[in-house]
Amino acid sequence: MKNKSLKKEIQKLIIVFSIFVIVVIGIIAIVNQYNSKIKEIKHNQNLVLKQVEEEINNLTLKIEFVANYISNNYPGNKDLLKNVVDTNLNISSILVLSKEGIIEDFYALSNLNINKGFDYSKKEYFKKIKKSSDTYWSNVFLSTVNEVPSISYSFKMNDKIGVFMINISELSNFMLRFKNHNGSHMIRIYDKNGIIIVNPDNKQLVLERFNVRYSEVFTKLINIKQAFEHAIFKNKNGEKSQFGSYTKIEKTAWYVIVRESHNYILKSLDTIVYYFAFAILLFIIISIFLSLRISKNIFKSFDDMQDITSKIASGDYNVKLKISEYDEFNKLLESFNSMQIEIDKREDILENSLASFKALFNSTMESVMLHENGICFDVNDVTLKLFRAKSKDELIGKKIADFITEESKEILKANIDRETETYELGIIRVDGTRIDALVQGKFLELNGRVVKVSAIIDITELKRKDQLLFQQSKMASMGEMIGNIAHQWRQPLSIISTCASGVKFEKEFAVLSDERLNESMDMIVKNTQYLSKTIDDFRNFFRSDKKIEEFTLEDILNKALLLLNSSLKSHEINIVTKFSDSEFKLKGYPNEFIQVLINIINNSKDAFISNKIENRYIEIEEINDKNLYRLHIKDNAGGIAPNIIDRIFDPYFTTKHKSKGTGIGLYMSHQIIVDHMKGNIFVKNIEIESPCGLSLGSCFCIEFDKNI
């Protein structure tokens, strides 16, 4: 990745930020000016709408008043129609129709196309009022009276119908007073069907009865906006954008539109926009000039500092920084000078620390090896002794794997590139001899490199002692097993002796029959076979082959109980087993696991005897959970004293007299479960429910994680 110049980046950032702020402020000002203009136009247009709405409502009230007056006074006043037309400029003619729609009377300013007896029953203003309404305001239509676009107002006169032809020219003249800034007129009036009633800017459209129902006046304003709400829409031809609002005259269902050219509104802001643009450009030029000037002064101090740091990096700690014209930089320079002094001090400290580290490295009792990517690059003096090397040259530059036994190379491969807890390796020394060692490795950063530090401890002697302990435990178990053999042989040997003596006695007295002889021989053979089977069972237990097998608790427990059967019976110990419904297979050495069970059961037996427990009860429970397999061996032998319960798995720890116990049985059981089978074993005191009631006892818990 290409490095960038901090000076240029900061200058660019200052300039861009300044331009951005100025442009944003300018845009906000222009938008506010536009919104202010629109707000003013909205206010003015709403005032005009209200005036026009009021004028039209006054016109309708006046027409309705005149209609009511005629209804009440027509039959008795012959000149009534003439007087009304002559005195009301908004009414161009009055028709009086019979209930069949025939003209019975009329008066018009121009009556070229009207006579009494004309049938107007087909006219919309007659049909509407005939059906239901008492009054009716028509849409725009071409009048047959004066042949101009007109609107009418129909009303009932007892059994007759009166019709006013409304002259909209007066209304149009009123609208002429409302003009926009560009000289166009503000007001348009449409009937409910979208036909133009008033358009002061184009009266020809009124004569043509032009329909704008499907123009944007309706689709973007009237149909979707509320009265007095504003919108932007195109004019009737869809060419020019208009900005305006509307209101609806409820009695006549007319729509009064007030509008102004939106393009003209925008154009009126052009001058303001130009002024703002000029101001923005001016401020941008000023900000760029100031930014460059300020950044130049600031970076002069940075450049001085860069020169000084380069000299310090070269080892020149006596150079001094120049005083800046900025207080902040002077404080920074003071801190930098202090840091310069501290760096000098820390360099001395680091040199002393390195010397101390080397002394510590060579004075530790553990073998320490530094290696990178599996290659050794330094060792301490203890490592030379451990590997029987004459000098470091025999180890440095060599592969770690060259000093590892074949059976341990896979273990090394799995652990050499990661931090680990202790693990065991077989090591081949320089002279070719083999040792067993515990190894632990951690990573650290040294001279900019990530290297691994491995600590090595020779455990060859410890393993030899463990083997000796195991053999002692085995011998102790053999002693107990011999006692069990004696128990199991006593009864069969007694039976064999009795049968042989009986045969000899009966033979001397000549009373021995063939049947009696055969019966005695069969009994002797049967018990001899039992003795042979007992020998096989005990021989299998003491078999020294080391083959990992899968086995179930039920099979192993039955074998253990068979070996202990006579001893348990002679000591009147009742054993209850509770196996899980689901089978789980353990992995390990079956005979070692049998020895664990025998050690724990014998431990309970000794506790029964020493505590003089009469009703002796042992419960063995198998629990097969989702992630954990557990085995609980409980007794009611009185429990274990709290001050020793945490020590019973220690080697050579025993509560018995020296002549009766070695203290290695439970220690070896712990070694078998934890080290050989990767499980866990612990003990706790419990209250157990036995056939004789609730009593105090202990529970040995063996656990195996199913996920391992």
pLDDT per position as a tens digit, 138-195: 877 766 655 566 788 888 888 888 888 887 777 788 888 888 888 888 898 888 888 8
CA distance 615 to 597: 21
Pairing of strands 616-624, 573-578: parallel
Pairing of strands 91-97, 254-261: unpaired
Q: Residue 363 CB: number of other CB atoms within 10 A? A: 10
CA distance 453 to 702: 36
Name the phi and psi angles at 568, rounded to 5. -65, -40
Q: Residue 105 CB: number of other CB atoms within 10 A? A: 16
CA distance to 495, 504, 527, per residue, from 520 (Å): 10, 11, 11
Beta bridge partners of 438: 424, 457
Report whether 654 contacts 661 (CB < 8 A): yes
CATH number belonging to domain 465-705: 3.30.565.10
Pairing of strands 449-458, 367-372: antiparallel
Q: Residue 256 CB: number of other CB atoms within 10 A? A: 24
Which residues neighbour 496 within 8 Å (Cβ) at sequence distance 6 or greater?
523, 524, 527, 528
Beta bridge partners of 700: 633, 683
- Which residue type is seen at 638? G
Residues of the chain with CATH 3.30.450.20: 364-458
- Largest Cα–Cα separation, the chain: 179
> Residue 315 has what DSSP assignment?
T
Q: Which of 179, 250, 240, 251 is nearest to 215 (CA)?
A: 240
* 3-state secondary structure labels for all residues of 531-555: HHHHHHHHHHHCCCCCCCEEEEHHH
Residues of the chain with CATH 3.30.565.10: 465-705
CA torsion 35-37-38-40 (nearest 10°) is 120
CA dihedral over 401, 405, 410, 411, signed as positive or negative = negative
What's the average pLDDT block by block, 10 residues per block, for the chain (708 residues)? 65 76 80 84 89 88 89 79 85 86 83 75 79 78 65 86 83 84 86 85 79 86 89 74 89 88 78 76 78 70 70 65 64 71 70 62 72 82 80 82 83 79 81 83 76 80 68 60 59 68 76 76 70 60 65 84 78 88 81 84 88 90 87 91 85 54 66 85 90 89 86
**412's tokens:** 């090394």
CA torsion 95-99-101-105 (nearest 10°) is -30
**569's tokens:** 């019976």
What DSSP element (H or E) covers 625? none
- How confident is the model at residue 460, as a pLDDT? 75
CA distance to 44, 244, 577, per residue, from 171 (Å): 20, 20, 113
- Which residue type is seen at 518? N
- How confident is the model at residue 286, as a pLDDT? 80
Task: Count CA within 13 A, CB hemisphere, residue 168.
Answer: 25
Cβ-count burial 573-597 (b if 16+ within 10 Å, e if not): bebeeeebeeeeebebbbbbbbbbb
Q: Which of 574, 613, 616, 595 is nearest to 480 (CA)?
A: 595
What DSSP element (H or E) covers 113? none
Pairing of strands 160-166, 91-97: antiparallel
Rg (CA), the chain: 59
Report whether 608 contacts 616 (CB < 8 A): yes
Q: Which of 176, 174, 181 is nearest to 260 (CA)?
A: 181
**485's tokens:** 């053999």
CA angle 554, 574, 549 (to 5 degrees): 20
Long-range contacts: 541-548, Cβ < 8 Å, 24+?
541/481, 541/591, 541/594, 541/595, 542/474, 542/478, 542/481, 542/591, 543/591, 546/589, 547/589, 548/587, 548/588, 548/589
- How confident is the model at residue 662, as a pLDDT? 43
Name the phi and psi angles at 17, rounded to 5. -65, -45
- How confident is the model at residue 74, as a pLDDT? 81
- Which residue type is seen at 233? F
Instruction: Tell me the CATH class for 364-458.
Output: alpha beta
Which residues neighbour 117 within 8 Å (Cβ) at sequence distance 6 or greater?
102, 103
Report whether 361 contacts 368 (CB < 8 A): yes
Mean pLDDT, the chain, integer: 78
Is the model's pTM score more than 0.85? no
Which residues neighbour 558 within 8 Å (Cβ) at sequence distance 6 or greater?
none
